[in-house]
Structure 1
């Protein structure tokens, strides 16, 4: 387990509406090939079972790089990603295999700012009052709580 994961505070669980309505609706649309503001279904192998686990995610593009941000903190898909080193992004029948590199806390503020600028209405509650207009210092303070992965297409994959 990384130092970041070891220092993880209590994870904020999503509410009933998010789990039963929002996530399921976005996953349903994404399964049918309709992206909602960059939504994809992330598939990553479980670190213990080896079985594919799926969860809806928002893919952020910033300066020609793509990122996955964990707004709810250190959750199952982040632990699995650290072990697997990549996974698949699904949009309808399209499957994109990728590799993932975890971003260090010092490099997260610009990514977190851009993520919050785009999706604050959806995920802002998980960022302890920090938003896209917060100071660099405030973004650095929350960085350890929110894993970020830079994703790249897997070599030889389209």
Structure 2
């Protein structure tokens, strides 16, 4: 059974450090880190969180390895993703992937970032169909159209 994500003290501290590095344009070694800013679905205020962008099937994707977290709900309400790292800024319209499309992307994500593997029932060596079966628990968004 996959672990359930909880934003505890340690994860908050890691996010603060990762965010500080990304603001300066320094991603963690081996990561594909960006800061994602979305519009809060209820407050309308900007919300920023560190994310990883994975390339698969010729596209770039945002994956939520920890489930239906705040930024997922925000993107579902307003499909505009603002990605930034240091001085680099990008604005994208996103499209949520269906399970069949998400399966190979989720597999690629877990292979690229194995630290997220405990949050999936499927294992890195499993076929894409195993990941597609849990796509409802790990939303995937394609960076569809650049607006920058």
The equivalent residue for 2:84 is: 90
Summarize the alignment of residues 1-150 of structure 1 with structure 2, pairs less than 5 Å apart: 12-20=5-13, 22-36=14-28, 37-120=31-114, 122-128=115-121, 130-150=122-142
Deviation at 1:144, TM superposition (A): 1.1
**Preserved CA contact (<8 Å) 2:110 2:117:** yes
Deviation at 1:65, TM superposition (A): 0.5
**Preserved CA contact (<8 Å) 1:39 1:56:** yes
Deviation at 1:136, TM superposition (A): 3.5
TM-score, with structure 2 as normaliser: 0.89
Q: Which moved more, 1:50-59 or 1:132-141?
A: 132-141
Runs of 4+ in 1 over 4 A off after TM superposition: none
Deviation at 1:153, TM superposition (A): 4.3
- Superposed CA deviations along residues 90-145 of structure 1, whole A, max 9, x for unmatched, are 1012211111000001211110110000001x2122113x2220134421221110
TM-score, with structure 1 as normaliser: 0.83
Q: Secondary structure at the match of 2:110?
A: helix
Give unmatched runs, 5+ long, in structure 2. none
Length, aligned pairs only: 144
Measured in 2, the distance between the counterparts of 1:19 and 1:123 equals 16
Deviation at 1:62, TM superposition (A): 1.4
**Preserved CA contact (<8 Å) 1:32 1:91:** yes
- The structure richer in helix per residue is 1
Give unmatched runs, 5+ long, in structure 1. 1-10
Question: Residues 16 and 131 (structure 1 numbering): CA distance in 2 closer, same or farther, change over 3 Å?
Answer: farther
**Preserved CA contact (<8 Å) 2:60 2:142:** yes
What is the RMSD computed on CA atoms of the aligned residues? 1.8
